[in-house]
Amino acid sequence: MEPTRRQFAHTEFLNYFLALAAVRAIVKGEIPKFVRRTIFSIDLLATFVTILEYRLAEQEFAVFIEKLGEAIDRGSSLDRTLPNLWAIAFAALSRAEGKALPAFCELGLAEVVVRGKLNPIKIERSRIELLDMRDADLSAVEWDDESRVGTAIANAATRVSTTFPEDVRYVELVTRDRKKTLSGQELWGWLRDHGRERATGIGAEGELDDVDPRWELIKRICYKMLHQYWLREGSDDAASQLLKDRLWPEVYEIMRDCKLVKEEPRTASGPKSAFYHVKKADKILARDRSDPDVDRLFRILASRR
């Protein structure tokens, strides 16, 4: 299946119910037979990301992480159990802040999918043959010198860390209508521009470091916006929790002035709440300063350092 193409509907439904069944079984301390025997595809792993990010309540997710660690500790290396459980652990990284994750050490994985703003982890003495990091920010991921990535799939929203393996064979750069294979100097140039050489800022004029907490919050929100439309104030879902950040009022004011956020009072399963949608999230993450609204956002952020 081409990275830019959707699957048949029945395959997507199958992946959804398989992933949901696996997650629920792990919460109960069980390992389904298909987890022990099946080679997980990129599409199935992407479904795991969606379920772990949006389907589980916070308490259930915390239990899942605890039980996943226990399952990894007792998992067998004689079948597909451990590789699949580790791939699921990677799928949970955008939401696992503050959770006790197992050590990502001495792993050999065929396929891994990550999405969103990944929380800090260290990967040691490990190899990933195919890393799908579209719509993902890996700038907080530390790789040691012995870790390797064979091939990566990326897009304009992808960001890597300064320790990302530089000997990756090639990167499949995906856009909405095509893909391009990067290798050699072109690949290195892409890695450099997307964070490998240093944690890049957001523009040549009034450069803003990635460590700016307002920019960090904007990035986290924008990565969520790539896969859902609204953030609901007062909701307990993982994405809407970002609205409780102390910097959200300031960020909202800046983005409103740049015409990059829409607020609507709506009624949905409860009292009327404020719903927020961030516009042009893909262009913001791509640092696309050819867009006047995005350019204005970056200029305001840089001026308020």
CATH of the domain at 221: 1.10.10
Return the pLDDT at 267. Answer: 79
Query: Is 205 inside any structural domain?
Result: no
Paired sense of beta strands 272-278 and 108-113, if any: unpaired
Residues 119 and 95 in one domain: no
Query: Is 183 inside any structural domain?
Result: yes
Q: Last residue of a domain, which of 165, 200, 235?
A: 200
Edge to edge, the sheet with strand 179-182 lists 108-113, 127-132, 148-154, 170-174, 179-182
Residues 134 and 64 in one domain: no
Residues 66 and 119 in one domain: no
The most confident of 47-61, 205-219, 263-277, by mean pLDDT:
47-61
Residues 123 and 181 in one domain: yes
Query: Is 245 inside any structural domain?
Result: yes
Number of domains in the chain: 3
Residues 97 and 1 in one domain: yes
Q: Last residue of a domain, which of 200, 225, 242?
A: 200
Strand partners, 265: 274
Q: pLDDT tens, 216-252?
A: 999 999 999 998 899 999 887 777 889 999 999 999 9
CA distance 300 to 305: 9
- 4 pLDDT higher than 50: no
Query: Is 207 inside any structural domain?
Result: no
**Interacting residues of 256 by C-beta distance below 8 A, sequence separation 6+:** 263
Q: Last residue of a domain, which of 173, 200, 227?
A: 200
Residues 267 and 285 in one domain: yes
Residues 5 and 42 in one domain: yes
Closest CA to 43 of 126, 134, 168, 107: 134
Residues 14 and 98 in one domain: yes
With beta carbons less than 8 A apart as the criterion, state whether 22 and 34 touch: yes
Residues 149 and 78 in one domain: no
Query: Is 78 inside any structural domain?
Result: yes
Q: Give me the mean pLDDT over the 73-94 stretch.
A: 92
Structure tokens at 38: 């099946």
- 258 pLDDT higher than 80: yes
Return the pLDDT at 203. Answer: 46
Residues 155 and 82 in one domain: no
Residues 250 and 298 in one domain: yes
Query: Is 206 inside any structural domain?
Result: no
Query: Is 208 inside any structural domain?
Result: no
- 152 pLDDT higher than 90: yes
- 255 pLDDT higher than 50: yes
Query: Is 293 inside any structural domain?
Result: yes
Residues 128 and 160 in one domain: yes
Expressed as residue numbers, the domain containing 38 is 1-102
* C-alpha distance from residue 167 to each of 123, 136, 171, 172, 183 (Å): 16, 20, 11, 15, 10
